[in-house]
């Protein structure tokens, strides 16, 4: 699951991709404090980190397919 390659001339996307990779690494390590360049963010929980990661993924991959599943006991 790698982000889209950077578009030449758009450092914004490259920065977001680096932030996404840093966030993914820290989620894997279980570390709630994320440092990127000169900023530090301490997330309240790993779940909040995952939500932030999902948001960055959607920003970087707007064409990504989102799957929604419905479960019911009464039928649909």
- Asked if pLDDT for residue 30 goes beyond 80, the answer is yes
Q: What percent of the chain has pLDDT over 90?
A: 36
Indicate whether 47 pLDDT > 70. yes
pTM, 2 dp:
0.64
Backbone angles phi, psi at 40, to 5 degrees: -135, 130
Do 33 and 40 touch, CB atoms closer than 8 A?
yes
The pLDDT of residue 10: 52
Residue 69: alpha-carbon gap to chain centroid? 21
Indicate the pLDDT class of residue 4, thresholds 50, 70 and 90.
very low
């Amino acid at each position: 699951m790698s982000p889209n390659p950077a578009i030449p001339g758009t450092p914004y996307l490259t920065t977001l991709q680096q932030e996404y990779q840093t966030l993914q690494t820290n989620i894997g390590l279980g570390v709630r404090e994320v440092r990127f360049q000169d900023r530090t963010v301490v997330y309240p929980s790993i779940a909040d980190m995952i939500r932030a990661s999902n948001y960055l993924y959607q920003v970087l991959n707007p064409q990504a397919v989102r799957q929604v599943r419905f479960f019911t006991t009464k039928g649909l």
